Chain A
Amino acid sequence: MAMYQVKPFGGGDIIHLPTCMYRLPNIHTQTVRCADHVLQNGEIDTGLKALEERQDEILRRLWELKAAVDGLAKTVTTPDADLDATTVPPSPASASTFRGSVDLDSLLGRDLGALRDIVINASPSRPPLCLLVLHRLLCQRYQVLSSVHVHSSVSSVPPKLVNCLGLRRTDNFQRQRFQLGFTLIWKDVPKVQMKFCVPTMCTIEGEANVARFLFRLLGVEPQDPAMATMIDSWVDTAFLQLAQGGAKEQATVVHALNDSLSRSPWLVGAEYSLADMACASCLLQTGAAKSGLVNVQRWLKACQNLGHFNFIHALLQ
């Protein structure tokens, strides 16, 4: 017999414990009714669509980046291998577009913290006018620290040559802040010399070669190889025949200039280029410009109007 008896509380029925946590309506038994199901389809579709669109966007951007990196890799390692000369447009960008110092890094090598100083040695008896013109152009494009020194091998130099790159800076400046250095040293050397990165580069000799180097730093050399060769040819003519040749040779060159200038305003193509700079400076230096040929005079005037040549007259006196 039980000691205590407790009356049952609650119903004495069997309680069914649930076996299913969530219950969904059976989608397979649903009949397709457009009005009802568009919403559902739309929800699913917009959700999916948005996801898909986002994915597509990401993939597209990835492709673009990949293409860009491939392009850069190609230009850095093999500059002209992929370029087909016939497909490249003939006229280059105009000389005044600013490109910034990124180009200098790719042209001259990474900046290691030392000022990238171009050192030019020239003899004061034959001032390199073409290089001075190029210096003006470099100053327009980059931040250039210019300085002039007189070497001990030369006893004295007239003040106009000492100030040919402008008066000496008197402000407080840090050499590091400049993108490029241009140091002109008046020295007793037979040929113009240029030294840039002594451990890896040998000395560049000859005013023509230094002029080509400086012109390429400006980044306006035409991509078209035909035009580039024409410019080179005129530069050679200027420095070898005009500057160093006899009177007869000079006369021939002046006539050739005249012929070429009768067809176009500048020597090569429709733009002012190194060819014009070189020929004009050599012509002014040798004094053969007094020949009186019409086209040559017109062209010289045009060069001077550009403003880079103004100071040459002062130097030539």
Chain B
Amino acid sequence: MTKEDVKGAAAEEEQQTQSKKALKKQQKEAEKAAKKAEKQAKQTVEQQNADEDDFAKDRYGVSPMVQSQQKLDRVLVRVEELTPEKADQLIWVRARIHTSRAKGKQCFVVLRQQQFNVQALVAVGDRASKQMVKFAANITKESIVDVEAVVRTVEQKIESCSQQDVELHIERIFVISQAEPRLPLQLEDAVRPEGEGDEEARATVNQDTKLDNRVIDLRTTTSQAIFRLQSGVCQLFRDTLIKKGFVEIQTPKIISAASEGGANVFTVSYFKTSAYLAQSPQLYKQMCICADFDKVFCVGPVFRAEDSNTHRHLTEFVGLDIEMAFSYHYHEVIDSITDTMVQIFKGLRDHFQTEIQTVNKQYPSEPFKFLEPTLRLEYTEGVAMLRAAGVEMGDEEDLSTPNEKLLGRLVKEKYDTDFYVLDKYPLAVRPFYTMPDPSNPKYSNSYDMFMRGEEILSGAQRVHDAQLLTERALHHSIDLEKIKAYIDSFRYGAPPHAGGGIGLERVTMLYLGLHNVRQTSMFPRDPKRLTP
């Protein structure tokens, strides 16, 4: 046999196989087409059946988009008000679909509204048809629905819901706003406590994923509780200070010069020049005191361009700042500030227990303890306590973060308090505007306050004399030209004053015993995150 022959034979074989393959293909296609046709026929038959039997067609469906077409005289009941008192009433509820589960002729749906949820039921009967049950089971999670239902009491408590004594029997259900079928994260996973052990490796959601999809993450019961508590902190702060006779001020955030002389400020372009974002409202608080406002506080954003990627630093946070003129001793100001903090803690303890318990379900922690009046230790005492515990440090050395935490633990062991003040810091570690101690030039009239061993407030008696301020600035090698405006404000009679500021997010985080400040900041900003 020649090569050509072989080739020819092979080609023939190929052709044959090809034709075989082609045949097979054709056969398959034919089968597919047949199946499709069958299916379509079935569907049309079903559709006809469905259309025929669907007597409940107008009791469910997707509503047209609410473009304020009409004013309905309908009262929507809040889920938290669904109690056995409303038994057998027909009411309308607007809530989200938390979960839905179909079981034969019934569909169980959990409707959620903020921290509260209630079980609802669609069952085939004289009010609902099979198609309605199917529709209810297919509504995507997180969609907002309007439901008309009868409230019924149940014999057995529904443990998984917040409204445990009642159940809704749905008569009408309409989708107001539909959610996409694939959610970036599941809410049950976001609420699940971490570290349940290796037997049950159920999924929890990464913090970055949560922060990227903040809108969904904020819907969880834990997040709702955290931010309601944070709102409580802010409100208690304002109320307590207003009662004490303080005036709330608003200070500018675009400033011309970095007041603290640090490099940690953001620059913004300001027409033909550039300006800075305020690192703290300190300068303006003090000017208000010199302007005879006596006691001021301000709540506003603070911008720190520190490249610190830690669990407790943000580049933008809400600062709650206090400044107060005093009569003879700066301890008057410390007493006022600590009393404000204690009132805030008491208010949270007495009125926000449900929120604290909700957060503890996902992030368990010890309840926050404090003493009234607040414990005040001196810096030398703190150093002696640390030395007794084996830490070596100099008399005028600043406390490092691990030392602060250790001191917090020692104080907690002895006095059983999570909140205390450390008074009389060494002068060398404080900024130039801190008033030195009159009896000992190595120390200063400055103080720090700690919660759970972490610093929340740094304050001091300020130097209110222009000459001493100039001396101190020169001592710290600060360019006097840059702070000329600051020094000028003390040249026309300034009262002795002191103050301090706290970070709202950090205080909330430490009160609840959480471990990352991003959990208490709604849309956190740090060196790596600018959106959402």
- By a beta-carbon cutoff of 8 Å, the part of chain A in contact with chain B is 112-115, 117, 119, 121, 147, 149-153, 155, 168, 172, 174-176, 183, 185, 187, 195, 197-199
With a cutoff of 8 Å between Cβ atoms, the chain B residues found around residue A176 in the complex are 378, 380-381
- Size of interface on B: residues with Cβ below 8 Å to A: 29
How distant is the Cα of A168 from the Cα of B410 in the complex, in angstroms? 25
Q: Does B179 make an interface contact (CB < 8 A)?
A: no
Are A175 and B378 neighbours in the complex by a CB distance under 8 Å? yes
Are A198 and B378 neighbours in the complex by a CB distance under 8 Å? no
Contact code string B356-389 (vs A, CB < 8 Å = 1, else 0): 0000000000001111110101101101110111
Q: Does B413 make an interface contact (CB < 8 A)?
A: yes
Are A198 and B410 neighbours in the complex by a CB distance under 8 Å? yes
Are A151 and B378 neighbours in the complex by a CB distance under 8 Å? no
Are B375 and A149 neighbours in the complex by a CB distance under 8 Å? yes
How distant is the Cα of A176 from the Cα of B395 in the complex, in angstroms? 15
How distant is the Cα of A172 from the Cα of B326 in the complex, in angstroms? 15
How distant is the Cα of A121 from the Cα of B331 in the complex, in angstroms? 26
Give the residue of B331, B349, B371 whose beta carbon is less than 8 angstroms from that of A150: B371
Asked whether A152 and B371 contact (CB < 8 A) given A185-B416, A187-B416, A198-B414, the answer is yes
Are A149 and B373 neighbours in the complex by a CB distance under 8 Å? yes
Are A151 and B387 neighbours in the complex by a CB distance under 8 Å? no
Q: Does B135 make an interface contact (CB < 8 A)?
A: no
Are A112 and B387 neighbours in the complex by a CB distance under 8 Å? yes
Are B349 and A152 neighbours in the complex by a CB distance under 8 Å? yes
With a cutoff of 8 Å between Cβ atoms, the chain A residues found around residue B384 in the complex are 112-114
Give the residue of A113, A117, A149, A199 whose beta carbon is less than 8 angstroms from that of B372: A149
Give the residue of B371, B377, B378 whose beta carbon is less than 8 angstroms from that of A185: B371
Q: Does B266 make an interface contact (CB < 8 A)?
A: no
Are A115 and B369 neighbours in the complex by a CB distance under 8 Å? no
Tell me the smallest distance from the CB of B492 to a CB of chain A, in Å: 29
19 contacts between A and B (CB under 8 A): A114-B380, A114-B384, A114-B385, A114-B388, A119-B414, A149-B372, A150-B371, A151-B417, A152-B371, A155-B350, A172-B329, A174-B378, A175-B377, A176-B381, A185-B371, A185-B415, A198-B413, A199-B388, A199-B389
How distant is the Cα of A237 from the Cα of B290 in the complex, in angstroms? 65
Q: Does B345 make an interface contact (CB < 8 A)?
A: yes
Closest to B369 in A: A152
16 further A-B contacts with Cβ under 8 Å, apart from A172-B329, A199-B388, are: A112-B387, A112-B388, A113-B381, A115-B381, A119-B415, A121-B416, A147-B373, A149-B373, A151-B370, A152-B368, A152-B370, A174-B378, A176-B378, A176-B381, A183-B415, A198-B414
Tell me the smallest distance from the CB of A170 to a CB of chain B, in Å: 9
With a cutoff of 8 Å between Cβ atoms, the chain B residues found around residue A114 in the complex are 380-381, 384-385, 388
How distant is the Cα of A38 from the Cα of B107 in the complex, in angstroms? 136
Tell me the smallest distance from the CB of A164 to a CB of chain B, in Å: 15
Closest to A151 in B: B371
How distant is the Cα of A174 from the Cα of B438 in the complex, in angstroms? 13
Asked whether A175 and B381 contact (CB < 8 A) given A195-B414, A198-B410, the answer is yes
Q: What 8 pairs across the A-B complex have the smallest Cβ distances?
A: A114-B384, A149-B371, A113-B384, A114-B381, A150-B372, A112-B384, A152-B370, A198-B413
Tell me the smallest distance from the CB of B180 to a CB of chain A, in Å: 46
Closest to B413 in A: A198
How distant is the Cα of A244 from the Cα of B249 in the complex, in angstroms? 58
Closest to A183 in B: B415
How distant is the Cα of A168 from the Cα of B372 in the complex, in angstroms? 12
Closest to A121 in B: B416
How distant is the Cα of A10 from the Cα of B385 in the complex, in angstroms? 96
How distant is the Cα of A239 from the Cα of B329 in the complex, in angstroms? 45
Asked whether A151 and B369 contact (CB < 8 A) given A112-B388, A114-B385, A174-B378, the answer is yes
Tell me the smallest distance from the CB of A9 to a CB of chain B, in Å: 85
With a cutoff of 8 Å between Cβ atoms, the chain A residues found around residue B380 in the complex are 113-114, 176
Interface centre among B331, B345, B370, B372 (most CB of A within 10 A): B372
Closest to A111 in B: B384
How distant is the Cα of A113 from the Cα of B368 in the complex, in angstroms? 29
With a cutoff of 8 Å between Cβ atoms, the chain B residues found around residue A147 in the complex are 373
Are B414 and A113 neighbours in the complex by a CB distance under 8 Å? no
Interface centre among A121, A147, A168, A199 (most CB of B within 10 A): A199
Interface centre among A150, A152, A187 (most CB of B within 10 A): A152
How distant is the Cα of A286 from the Cα of B384 in the complex, in angstroms? 42
Asked whether A151 and B389 contact (CB < 8 A) given A172-B329, A176-B378, the answer is no
Tell me the smallest distance from the CB of B140 to a CB of chain A, in Å: 46
Closest to B373 in A: A149
Tell me the smallest distance from the CB of B332 to a CB of chain A, in Å: 10
Closest to A155 in B: B350
With a cutoff of 8 Å between Cβ atoms, the chain A residues found around residue B383 in the complex are 113
How distant is the Cα of A168 from the Cα of B413 in the complex, in angstroms? 24
Tell me the smallest distance from the CB of A153 to a CB of chain B, in Å: 7
Interface residues of B in 328-364 (CB under 8 A from A): 329, 331, 345-346, 349-350
Interface residues of B in 456-471 (CB under 8 A from A): none
Interface centre among A113, A168, A197 (most CB of B within 10 A): A113
Contact code string B393-417 (vs A, CB < 8 Å = 1, else 0): 0000000000000000010011111
Contact code string B493-531 (vs A, CB < 8 Å = 1, else 0): 000000000000000000000000000000000000000
How distant is the Cα of A119 from the Cα of B373 in the complex, in angstroms? 15
With a cutoff of 8 Å between Cβ atoms, the chain A residues found around residue B329 in the complex are 172
With a cutoff of 8 Å between Cβ atoms, the chain B residues found around residue A168 in the complex are 373
With a cutoff of 8 Å between Cβ atoms, the chain B residues found around residue A151 in the complex are 369-371, 416-417
How distant is the Cα of A198 from the Cα of B389 in the complex, in angstroms? 10
Closest to B380 in A: A113
How distant is the Cα of A19 from the Cα of B419 in the complex, in angstroms? 97
How distant is the Cα of A174 from the Cα of B377 in the complex, in angstroms? 10
How distant is the Cα of A218 from the Cα of B329 in the complex, in angstroms? 35
Tell me the smallest distance from the CB of B343 to a CB of chain A, in Å: 12
With a cutoff of 8 Å between Cβ atoms, the chain A residues found around residue B377 in the complex are 175
With a cutoff of 8 Å between Cβ atoms, the chain A residues found around residue B410 in the complex are 198
Closest to B378 in A: A175
Tell me the smallest distance from the CB of B405 to a CB of chain A, in Å: 16
Interface centre among A114, A121, A176 (most CB of B within 10 A): A114
How distant is the Cα of A198 from the Cα of B388 in the complex, in angstroms? 10
Tell me the smallest distance from the CB of A130 to a CB of chain B, in Å: 22
With a cutoff of 8 Å between Cβ atoms, the chain B residues found around residue A117 in the complex are 414
How distant is the Cα of A199 from the Cα of B373 in the complex, in angstroms? 25
How distant is the Cα of A152 from the Cα of B511 in the complex, in angstroms? 13
Tell me the smallest distance from the CB of B383 to a CB of chain A, in Å: 7
Closest to B377 in A: A175
With a cutoff of 8 Å between Cβ atoms, the chain A residues found around residue B416 in the complex are 121, 151, 185, 187
Interface residues of B in 415-453 (CB under 8 A from A): 415-417
How distant is the Cα of A197 from the Cα of B410 in the complex, in angstroms? 10
How distant is the Cα of A111 from the Cα of B372 in the complex, in angstroms? 28
Interface residues of B in 146-179 (CB under 8 A from A): none
Closest to A197 in B: B388
With a cutoff of 8 Å between Cβ atoms, the chain B residues found around residue A150 in the complex are 371-372
How distant is the Cα of A187 from the Cα of B371 in the complex, in angstroms? 9
